A and B are shown apart, each in its own frame.
Chain A
């Protein structure tokens, strides 16, 4: 079953912060985050593994709440280059080893 992302779209001014959530009804082993610019391939941002860890690089970070089966992506002090569609990909482990199920995406638009 596809994870649910919220919100569906976000509009920001440069310098503002945003949070994108990814919720699953299944127990997850890992969550992947990707960003895709229009007409281009998705680009990897980070992976979070079961265990509730938090990761980050530069001004983009993410957390994974195992109890809630939810991951959140935090974008702080947004830049124009952050614009794009953000996807989470969920892996349930076990027999689905290797298989990612992606959310429907969150469109982020950053204005000057």
Chain B
């Protein structure tokens, strides 16, 4: 079955630690995205990548970093510089960009205390 996997589903970390969220897709999609969702709010774009070895900052990139070394993988690192990291993180992918639907993974709920 083709799809997007994110792991783990729930993640707990202590303040001051970096943490990496996994996102893998086997849909052969070129574009991949990371969003953050806070309770009662919409999705805010953190980073996106249109091709391997290339990525662009979204609206809230500060405190986050990404890499795109393989087409199927787009891990997100939440660094200690991110002031309020507790949130629901969603990864998505699409065949192209503007006129193509985005497929979302199941999400990772990160709690930092």
Contacts and interface: CB of A to CB of B under 8 A. Distances in A.
A105 B41 contact: yes
A98 B42 contact: no
B98 A102 contact: no
Interface of chain A: mostly helix, strand, loop or mixed = loop
B102 interface: yes
A68 B102 CA distance: 25
Interface in B13-52: 31, 33, 35, 40-45, 48, 50
Interface residues of B, number: 26
B48 A102 contact: no
Contacts of A49: 99
A47 B96 CA distance: 13
Contacts of B56: 98-99
Interface string A19-46: 0000000000110100000001111100
Interface string B95-113: 0011111111111000000
Interface residues of A, number: 24
A42 B43 contact: yes
A44 B103 CA distance: 7
Nearest to A43: B104
19 contacts: A30-B99, A32-B101, A41-B104, A41-B105, A42-B104, A47-B99, A49-B99, A87-B42, A89-B102, A91-B98, A98-B31, A98-B50, A98-B56, A98-B97, A99-B45, A100-B45, A101-B59, A102-B42, A105-B40
